[in-house]
Chain A
Amino acid sequence: MRRAFCEFLWSPPIDNARAATGRSTTLRLILTGASGYIGRRLIELAIERSITVVALGSPPANASAARVLPWRLGEEPERAVFEGAAAVVHLAHSWASDASAGDSATNINLVGSEKLARAALANDVPRFIFASTLAAYPGAPNSYGRVKNATEQRLLALNDAQGRVICARIGLVYGGREDGQYGLMTKLVRATPILPIVGIDRIAQPIHVDEVCAALLALAIDPLPRRDGVASAVWVVAGPEPVTVGKWLHTLRFAHTGKRIALVPIPLSVALFGCYLSRIIPFVPTIDRERILGLAGKNWFESSADLELLKVGVIAPEKRLASLRSARRRRVAEAIAMLSYVAGRPISSPKPVARLLRGISRRSDHALGLPWYVFACPLLLRAFEPLRSRPDHRLAQRLHLAAMVIETMHAEQIPDRRPRFINLALQIALEAISLPFRLMLSSRFA
């Protein structure tokens, strides 16, 4: 068992080995930006559909799921990479270059994307999917939008681009791992009940990350649907229901905390001045001017027809987010129960709980689904512990993390471990009583 676990830790899964050893018959997808918010989820969903992913760039956190080839935006990948690939999905974007080069022709996003697309087309990759944005139009307020727009133009003008280069204009993505812009927003709405905000009545078209990935996979792999009999190169992957930014922040705040948020509209110029200040004042986190400007989009795009053609069913954000709060609550409650159980005394201070949740979330975001009486009396967790701690037992694994959190809570390195024999006797008695329950119940959270 331990061996299996070690393998799990240190080596990629078998699927991957197969992918690495050459021409498999499965579909092969080349992905850039695999370590990003959308990229990570796309890898998971692709694997669920038995699609092999080759990630170009820095290894994603779920690196074991994909073969990773070192690459940087601006470099030309080796020819061999493209061999037999069904599509390239180009998600990578360099924010650093936007900040330094703006929308000039030297922006690495522009140059690098073109280079990558050229290489892919020259090596007979059937499709090249470019992740663009709803804000991609010539006069877009931030250079992100303008660069994306310029890149779209360049890619579509390439030789052989017809029917092969596809731009997916993605809306405001939410859901899943709290990462990227979504992570930033959730952090904000969780942290503060009052939020000064630019462009409160601007329009956003929120779409869930799973829906975005489904659309990208459809564009990459399925036969391309024709819109009004024409093969279209630009697809809108955004929520069909527009909401204002203010309304969206309300929704997020309520979903994550169950509380309301007070939004203070501030003029754009004031916000930009704030960004400037954040840059020159030391020790204050810098606010990215680009991101602020990005909030100021104003156009609304019709997307339901495109999503329907791509067979992506969209679920309303309110519905999707409704379960979020209860799920998080449940995870917190479970963490508290596990910590209290391991420590032998009630523990509910937020810091150890947060540490444990972070440790757990590296492997799984799901609560175990412990029964209600465990929350009332954490001692009862004993009935679900396996007889011998197995590394692949989910409850045992989490209890181990809880034990590590507990033993590092206190300052003294060498706690007084004077043996307490009465306690020990009591524990052994409890151990005997709980044994039959453990035999019966320990597989429940395996």
Chain B
Amino acid sequence: MINDDFDADFIVIGSGPAGVSVTFPLIEAGARVLMMDGSGPDHPSSEDTTEPWRVALGHRLEALVPDDGLSPKLRTPESRRIIAEFHRSLKIRSDSFLAIGGIARGGLSRVWGSLVSELDARDIEEWPFSINDLRPSYKAVTRRMGVSGSQSDDMSEFYGRSGEILPPLLIGPTAGRLLNDYCPGLFSDFALGTARNAILTVDRDGRKACDHRKKCLWQCGRGAVYDSRFDLIKLATCHEFRIVDYALATRLTPMGNGWEVSVRDGRSFRAPRVVLAAGALATSALAAPLLPNPPSELRVLSNPLIAMPLFVPRRLGCSAVSEGHSVAQLGYRLFYRNSDDEYVTGALYEIDALPPSNFVTRLPLSRPAANELFAAMAPSMLVASGYFHGHYSENRLRLEKRDGEISMTIQGGFRADLPDKFYEVTRRLKKIWRRLGAWMLPGTELAPPGADGHYAGLFGMGQEAEYGTTAFGEMNAAPGVFIVDGAAIPTLPSKHITLTIMANADRIGRHLAA
């Protein structure tokens, strides 16, 4: 199979969660894999310092920028750097759309929220394979990431049970109050339980368990939160694996019985098969030029995202506790009215460890009053996120051919009936939270399109069209090119998609290895 013309059996573009997930099965089967990374190895960060401003704002004050409505985890210096690099490298224009992507070793898994969930048979009804095809991959990926959560509460079935689940993280006092007041069967349409996070609660593979010091946002330094760089360390020990640094792929050209990938700096690499795992947007930038008759636009699915501030009056007057974490505490699921298969899901976060400025800005008060109010209320507050199904998004990726190159513009938007759904869901949740002892504060709002960062549907698996891909992610228009990241996910349920993207990449990897 190996030809001297080829640098490897497979070229994997992207070092993020999808890239490493597709690589493991390939390596295990003895294939030679060359991974192209748009950035390079991490230099030891000099931000491991005790100076708090360097940690929170960054050496070069990268994070000292005006409020832009992003979630706190995307406002850290690390996130700002990664996203800025993405925008510098990829000239994707956006119109009413927050385009989030990462050009960095490990991709966006460096700055993700760590929430994971498996999909079930209903979620993937329209996909070209069954849930049983995904189960072994879920199991393998879950084991590799290290996922903690509850095994037996109301949400554990919803989050899936294919993989090994480690004991849950500590639940904070405010979230704990809500969970105490909840009992199974209390609501017919609503379920609440411990959130499932890709965070270690036992030491494993050189990574250490979470020590509950609330440093989740700023790299706790223990490796508790999954990040695909840990997998790269494992892969680096394999002979068949090679990673090329600073190789930002710019173009794919067919050659003989394989493909040539050109890099920005003029290098090029060849392999019989190329796997695109650079993140939905970056992958699309590489895949779109391969279509012989590119459509004028492609749809981009994303999960419309709401954020609800909640206040738990019974906690008023308590001071913040020093132990805990700032990732998701609890997860919930709410069925829409008159529907038992369409739902909204999200998570609850305690906010006392997050920078107050994120919230203070939103209060309709002057700064000192808002500071004071926040100081009084933060220990008794929660923020609930909620994700709508991807079909409520209406984002378009417009492709224009100019000067022989394809320029891309994303136009963001929501389906016309989303506001009604938003109203329905918030009204119902308001009642439920009230019943559980939390008041929903004013300020619930829909984040701008794209703010969720879960992009999918561009080259969906099972689509017949030229821009579709097969059940194994192989492009209809370009045999030998496989798409394994979000771009190949055909429908986007409300559940967090990361784990499924990884499992799907693993599934495709197994297929390719066979």
Contacts and interface: CB of A to CB of B under 8 A. Distances in A.
Interface of A: 2-3, 5-7, 9-12, 17, 20-22, 59, 68, 70, 78, 80, 341-342, 344, 355, 358-359, 362-363, 379, 382, 385, 387-389, 391, 396-397, 399-401, 403-405, 407-411, 413-414, 416-421, 423-424, 427-428, 430-431, 434, 438
Nearest to A362: B65
B236 interface: no
Interface stretch (B23-31, B51-59, B143-151, B482-490): B51-59
B208 interface: no
B415 interface: no
A397 B363 CA distance: 14
Given A11-B94, A344-B371, A413 B66 contact: no
B356 interface: yes
B367 A341 contact: yes
B57 A417 contact: no
Given A6-B98, A10-B99, A404 B355 contact: yes
Contacts of B91: 68
A371 to B, nearest CB: 17
A391 B88 contact: no
Interface in B365-390: 365-369, 371-373, 375-379
Interface string B29-60: 00000000000000000000010110111000
Contact of A407 (B61, B357, B400): B357
B286 to A, nearest CB: 16
Given A385-B366, A403-B357, A9 B68 contact: yes
The 8 closest A-B pairs by CB, nearest first: A419-B376, A359-B64, A408-B53, A427-B369, A403-B357, A418-B319, A408-B56, A397-B66
B369 A400 contact: no
A152 to B, nearest CB: 30
A6 B352 contact: no
Contact of A414 (B55, B214, B403): B214
Interface residues of B, number: 61
A2 B375 CA distance: 25
B215 interface: yes
A358 B373 CA distance: 29
Contact of B57 (A404, A416, A421): A404
Contacts of B64: 355, 358-359, 401, 404-405
Given A400-B67, A411-B50, A413-B52, 10 more contacts: A7-B95, A10-B87, A11-B93, A11-B95, A358-B61, A403-B357, A404-B56, A419-B317, A424-B373, A431-B366
Contacts of B402: 20-22
**Among A68, A417, A430, residue most surrounded by chain B Cβ atoms (within 10 Å):** A417
B253 interface: no
Contact of A391 (B67, B87, B371): B67
B93 A420 contact: no
A431 B378 CA distance: 20
A399 to B, nearest CB: 6
A141 to B, nearest CB: 35
- What secondary structure prevails in chain B residues at the interface with A? loop
Interface in B345-366: 352-353, 355-357, 360-366
**Among A70, A388, A414, residue most surrounded by chain B Cβ atoms (within 10 Å):** A414
A6 B448 contact: yes
Contacts of A362: 65
Interface of B: 50, 52-53, 55-57, 61, 63-69, 87-88, 91, 93-99, 214-215, 264, 316-317, 319-320, 322, 352-353, 355-357, 360-369, 371-373, 375-379, 400, 402-404, 407, 448
A387 B370 CA distance: 12
Contacts of B377: 419
Given A11-B95, A341-B368, A420-B372, A411 B52 contact: yes
A389 B362 contact: yes
A413 B373 contact: no
Contacts of B57: 355, 404-405, 408
Contacts of A387: 364
B403 A344 contact: no
Contact of A403 (B96, B97, B356, B362): B356
Contacts of B88: 59
B364 A414 contact: no
Given A355-B53, A414-B320, A424 B98 contact: no
A427 B373 contact: yes
A338 to B, nearest CB: 9
Contacts of A416: 319-320
Contacts of B50: 411
**Among B98, B320, B361, residue most surrounded by chain A Cβ atoms (within 10 Å):** B361
**Among A22, A382, A385, A403, residue most surrounded by chain B Cβ atoms (within 10 Å):** A403
Contacts of A9: 68
Nearest to A438: B366
**Among A363, A405, A407, A434, residue most surrounded by chain B Cβ atoms (within 10 Å):** A407
A20 B353 CA distance: 44
A407 B375 CA distance: 12
A201 B37 CA distance: 53
Contact of A417 (B63, B67, B375): B375
B479 to A, nearest CB: 30
B366 A382 contact: yes
26 contacts: A3-B448, A5-B68, A11-B93, A344-B371, A355-B53, A355-B57, A358-B61, A359-B61, A363-B66, A382-B366, A385-B366, A388-B364, A391-B67, A391-B69, A399-B367, A400-B66, A400-B67, A403-B357, A403-B360, A408-B52, A408-B56, A413-B353, A414-B322, A417-B379, A424-B376, A438-B366
